[in-house]
Structures are given as C-alpha cells and as structure tokens.
Structure 1
Amino acid sequence: MPKGDRLPRLLKLIHTIQNHPGLSSEELARECGIGSRQIFRDLRVLDYAGVPLYNDNGYRLAENFLLQDISFSLDEALSLLYGLKLVERQKALFPVKRVKERIMALLPRGLRDEIENLDGRVDVVAGFSADYSMKGDLFRNLNLAMRESKRIELEYYCFSRDDSNVRTIDPYHLIFKDGFWYLVGLCHWRKEQRQFRVDRIRKLRVLPEKFVPPPEILAASPLGAAWGIELGEVFQFTIRFWGESARFVRETQFHPEQQLWEEAGGTLRFTAKGCNLAQVARWVLTFGGEAEVLKPQSLRQMVVRQLAAGLERYSREANGCSLTSVGQGGMVE
C-alpha cells in the first residue's frame, strides 16, 4: 500500500477501535481491509505515537481519548466525489486522485463498494475551459496572498488591448465560472475593483506589504448582480422568447434574480439584472431569432447591430442558398 495511504489507514483503525471496542487483531484487520501482519505494524505505530491503546479482551482506547468521527454517509461521500469530478477537469491543477484515494480509505468497505460502483457510471462533461496544468505554483501563491492579506504584483495580459502590463493588486476572491478561474481584487493602477482571468496572468509575485480587506467586500457576493463575470453599472433588461427557446428558458435558472411572465400565444417574458451590455447581448444572440430585447433600448440597439453585421457577412455568400433549407440542430431534451 502506498505511503500516502498510511494516515487515512491509521485514522480508520482508530475509528474502528473507538466505535467497536473489544475487537481482536483478526477482526480489526478484516474491518480495515488489511493483512494480519500489517494490523500489528499499525497497532505498534499508534502505540509509539502516544495513542492510549490497550488490549483487554480485545483492543480498546482509554476513556478520556476521543477522535472526532469523520466518516461519511452515502450522500455525503457522493457529494464529495462528484465535486472532485468537477475539479478533475482542471487538468492536473489539483491532486484529485490522491484526495479521492484518501476519502475512499476512510469509508467502511460496504459503503466504499457502493461508491466505486457508482463512480464509474457518473461523469462530468465540462464545456470549453482554459488550460491550468502549468498554473499550480500561481494558484498556491494566490491562496497564500489571500490567506495572509498580502498584496501581489502580476504581469497581466489584457485581452481587450492585446498587450501586457504590470499591476499591483489586493486579492479579495477567486471565482470559477463558465470554465475559467477569475481573481477579483483592488487594482492599484485602475484604483478600483477589477476581475482578472487567472490563465492570463503571466507572472505573479507575493509582496511583503499587507492590506486590510474591506469587510463589506468580503461579506458580499463578489459578483453581485453581474451577468457573467464582468462588472459595471447595474441595469435591468427584459427579453421575449418564442418556441423552443421559451420552453428552454422556462426550465432554466440563468440568474438568481430572474423573473418570468407567461404571455398569450406561448411567448415568455424574461427579466433579470446585469452589469455589462456586451455580455448580455452575447447571451441573447445564442437564441437566434427566438429572442427579442424589449428593454433597455441600448441593449436592443447593440443586438440589432450584431445581427445586422452577421446578416451582411452571410449575405455575401447567400446567393443561391435557400435559408429555409437550413434545419435546426439537435436539442437536449
């Protein structure tokens, strides 16, 4: 058995003795799923470590010794493992395999068998995402800086300007959304709170200077009313949906503050709050001709310009092509 499994194995042995005092070495070996020679080695390790262990018609622990139970129910174990499946998609960023093995080692054999049976039949298919496989040190430094409230200096690639610069940041939050990790913090260059895609951070250095995180920043949701990740002035928008898009929107929560109104003829009116016109416009455009912006007018005009530009682009190649011949793609039921 790998050395990394020793700690969970010993913890399981302590829990077994604590919960079932009086078991023999053979019974302990069977409960812990190890051999008879290994059980004696582990018992000796516990004795050397100062665990008050004694043998009186079976192995027992002193009455004043108590190790808090860290066993899981089936639902709790599945919640952990399904969460780990999401993390596994981060391309070697976190030691998921080792964590999973340690969790499994803490489970009773029967529960472990149930989990292993389900584990191979459940998968998490993530959408597009960045490659974080080479960002392990960067994340460790970010976590260190947030934990100790230290400023960081980073070289950041700005997508909108297509260039890089160096900034000093007070790091407040790390957020994973739609396949990407974001750092939220106070940018001393911009003198305001900003969001930074972690995969666009070229270099990062933890500075010795400390900062005091504003209590209202830490207490509130870092995204607030944001639609997506970009922040700005909050506005309310209303969209009307038709057909299959109306049915899809009806069964889906896109925003915690969204509101729906049924309309005559089967259309659906959708209202929510956003902070960035462009992000909301991109979402509306994914529904094609089955969505219409009712308000604000600025959002409606932005969508109209995007649709007009697309129509002009495609019309150059549309000669002789019947638009009615293009069928809809498959939809998830």
Structure 2
Amino acid sequence: MTKSERFGIIERILHSRRGVSFIELRQRLEVSRATLHRDLRDLKERMQVPIVCDRDTGLYRIDSSVERYELPGVWFSAGEIHALLSMQQLLAAFDAGGLLAEHVGPLRQRLLGMLESASDSADDIARRIRILSAAARHYAPQHFQHIASALMERRRLNIQYVARSNGTGSEREISPQRLTHYRDNWYLDAWCHLRDELRSFAVDSIKTVKAIDAVAQEIPEAELDAALGAGYGIFAGKVQAWAKLRFTPERARWVAAEHWHPAQECWFEESGSYVLRIPYADHRELMMDILKYGADCEVLEPPELRTHVVAQLAMAVKKYGNAVVSPSSVSDGDSENTDGARRLSR
C-alpha cells in the first residue's frame, strides 16, 4: 500500500467516525507504529488536516471547531508531485505575464508540502528546467484577464486594435471564441462584428479592452477550425493551395521529426531527401519557414509559391551586392556531435 493510499484511508475513516484509536488505525493500515505516526504528522502538518488526539479517550478525530478545511481530491506519490512541480515550472515560464500566478501559487505551495524529500526543492526544479522564448511579444496582462473573463462568461468585447501590417487602428466589437498560444505569442479567435466574419487577433496588438453587456455570438467549433485552422500557421482562411517541399538529406532528419500541419503528407525519397506536402491559405508565414532552411529546402509546387520564394531570395542576394562566397566558407549549420547531442562551448 502506498503512502497516498494510506492518506486516503485515514481521511475516510476519520470522516466517518467520531473517534478512532491508534491501534485500530494500525490494524486497518497494517503498518508499524512509526509509519502511522509519520502519516498522521504529515496529514496534520503538510496537508493542514485538523487532526487531533483526544487526551481523555486517546482517540483521533477531525477537529470540529475548524469551520472549513479542504483535502486534496487526489493523492499523489512523490514522483507524481515532482512531475507536477516540473509542469508548474514550465507554466511559470509559459505564463510570462504572471496571469495564472495567483491561482497556481497556492497549489504549488501545497505540492511543496507534500514532498517527502528536501533534496528535491522547488529551487532545484527551477534550476534544472529552462524555457527559451525566441520571439515572444509583450502584451498587457490586464487585457489578457479581461479577454479570458469574457471568454468564460460568453460576453462581447469592444477593442481598439492596431494592425501590425500597416499600423492602422480600428475600433471593433467582437465575440471572443478561444485563445490560442502559437509560437510564444497569444492570439484571440473571435467573431468580428465590424467585418462580419471570423478573425484572429494578436493579443499584443490589442490596445484597449472593454467588456460589453451583450451575449457573445457563439460559433460552432467545426466552423472555427474550418475557417481558422485549415491553413498553415496563424493565417486564417480556407485552403487555397498545397505546397510541396523537398529537403536535403542533411536536413531531412530534423524536418521529418517536426509536425508542420495536421493534414501534412510526407515521405523519404531514395536519395535520402525528404518531401513534405502541406496545405496553406496564405503564403507569408509558410515562406518564412521555407527561407530559414536556405539552400536545404526547395519549393517543388505550386509555381506561385516557388516564384515568391525565388523573388525573396533574389532581393536578399541583391542586398549583399557583389560579395563572393566560396563553397568552403559556407557552414552546413550542423552543430551536433555524432551522437546527436548539441555542442556546448565552455
């Protein structure tokens, strides 16, 4: 029987009886005196369960003078607690604005109290987990909270939104549908009553938020996915075309392990090259992902996408003038050892 199971049994016995003797608890749990003493101590000190021992009768009971106390609905093993604390550390890095801190904090303190070993402290876990955000944009936490509240309460919002593409601002009434965290940034999928269609708004581009006393228009999830999730990346819209990309054998090992789109099709060629076929509605984000692979990625189709990429590469070359680069001076970008581990300089 695990410690978590014993905790559950003790809690149920004390709840169902006005008093239970130490001997009876030992017999029910089939443990030593020392083990039961530790369990009772941990329940009282770490779990804040108001267990008292009546001096006159020697019976253990729940202190009825405590108006309210709360026991965890699920008991965890030490390994599970470590995993939960690790996830909390991930959440702390993920939640850069501290939006969930006030809600997660008490849970974290309770989990810390449940740890049996001081060698696995929260500081140790924080030191062993590192989250790097490459391109996270700053947003106003208070806007996020208003948006989240409107989402759950199904209320409309009035927002001032600045389009990052051209810098123009507009005031819109929207019915929020869902929040999406994508590539280290937050987006709000909503029905825009100004444009009378579904739109995806970057939360960091929302300058003001005001709740409206009106019920949000509900959009079926299937319609949301069809309008906002069918294309490639964050750009909304119905699929306009399918891109067919070929990656060199050197990059195939990395790309083959990546998931670009739920409907992607992929296969290896005899040469070792990797072919990836994905749908898209807007070429802009897809083209950025293609260009980051440089000469290791070739657009096979459609011709329109290939033309866009060629034009971008030509403009990039033009910026460097008549610079001459010998093949031997170009690194293949492989910073891994033969065993697949990244090199770290000291």
**Cα displacement (A) at 1:197:** 0.7
1:241 aligns with 2:247: yes
* Alignment partner, residue 298 of structure 1: 304
Q: Distance in 1 between matches of 2:39 and 2:226?
A: 48
Higher mean C-alpha displacement, 204-213 vs 104-113: 104-113
Q: Decide whether aligned partners of structure 1 residues 287 and 169 sit closer, same or farther in structure 2, where only a CA change above 3 A counts.
A: same
1:173 aligns with 2:178: yes
Q: What is the letter of the counterpart of residue 123 of structure 1?
A: R
**Cα displacement (A) at 1:219:** 7.7
* Alignment partner, residue 18 of structure 1: 11
TM-score (norm 2): 0.74
Alignment of structure 1 residues 98-109 onto 2, 5 Å? 99-100=104-105, 102-106=107-111, 108-109=114-115
* Alignment partner, residue 30 of structure 1: 41
Q: Distance in 2 between matches of 1:271 and 1:75?
A: 41
Q: Tell me, what secondary structure is at the counterpart of 1:131? A: coil
**Cα displacement (A) at 1:19:** 5.4
Q: Decide whether aligned partners of structure 1 residues 274 and 73 sit closer, same or farther in structure 2, where only a CA change above 3 A counts.
A: farther
Q: Does the 8 Å contact 1:33/1:109 carry over to 2?
A: no
Q: Tell me, what secondary structure is at the counterpart of 1:264? A: coil
* Alignment partner, residue 165 of structure 2: 160
Q: Decide whether aligned partners of structure 1 residues 69 and 263 sit closer, same or farther in structure 2, where only a CA change above 3 A counts.
A: same
1:60 aligns with 2:64: no
Q: Tell me, what secondary structure is at the counterpart of 2:149? A: helix
Q: Tell me, what secondary structure is at the counterpart of 1:185? A: strand
Q: Tell me, what secondary structure is at the counterpart of 1:120? A: helix
1:273 to 279, 283, 288: 279
2:130 to 114, 119, 123: 123
Q: Decide whether aligned partners of structure 1 residues 218 and 109 sit closer, same or farther in structure 2, where only a CA change above 3 A counts.
A: farther
* Alignment partner, residue 8 of structure 1: none
Which consecutive residues of structure 2, in runs of 5 or more, have no partner in the other structure?
Answer: 1-6, 15-19, 23-35, 64-68, 341-346
**Cα displacement (A) at 1:18:** 0.5
Q: Tell me, what secondary structure is at the counterpart of 1:266? A: coil
1:257 aligns with 2:263: yes
Q: Decide whether aligned partners of structure 1 residues 66 and 74 sit closer, same or farther in structure 2, where only a CA change above 3 A counts.
A: closer
2:150 to 116, 141, 145: 145
Residues 221-257 of structure 1: CA deviation (Å, up to 9, x unaligned): 8742232111123132110110321121122222222
Q: Distance in 2 between matches of 1:71 and 1:290?
A: 51
Which consecutive residues of structure 1, in runs of 5 or more, have no partner in the other structure?
Answer: 1-13, 47-52
Q: Distance in 1 between matches of 2:21 and 2:185?
A: 50
* Alignment partner, residue 326 of structure 1: 330
Q: Decide whether aligned partners of structure 1 residues 59 and 220 sit closer, same or farther in structure 2, where only a CA change above 3 A counts.
A: farther
Q: Does the 8 Å contact 1:172/1:185 carry over to 2?
A: yes
Alignment of structure 1 residues 193-212 onto 2, 5 Å? 193-212=198-217
* Alignment partner, residue 85 of structure 1: 89
Q: Decide whether aligned partners of structure 1 residues 284 and 275 sit closer, same or farther in structure 2, where only a CA change above 3 A counts.
A: same
Q: Distance in 2 between matches of 1:112 and 1:97?
A: 24
Spell out structure 1 runs of 4+ moving beyond 6 A. 23-26
Residues 184-208 of structure 1: CA deviation (Å, up to 9, x unaligned): 0011122111111101110000111
Higher mean C-alpha displacement, 268-277 vs 100-109: 100-109
Q: Distance in 2 between matches of 1:76 and 1:219?
A: 36
TM-score (norm 1): 0.77
**Cα displacement (A) at 1:274:** 2.1
Give the total of aligned pairs: 302
**Cα displacement (A) at 1:15:** 6.2
Residues 5-53 of structure 1: CA deviation (Å, up to 9, x unaligned): xxxxxxxxx9685157558797577314749xx98xx73xx9xxxxxx8
**Cα displacement (A) at 1:321:** 4.9
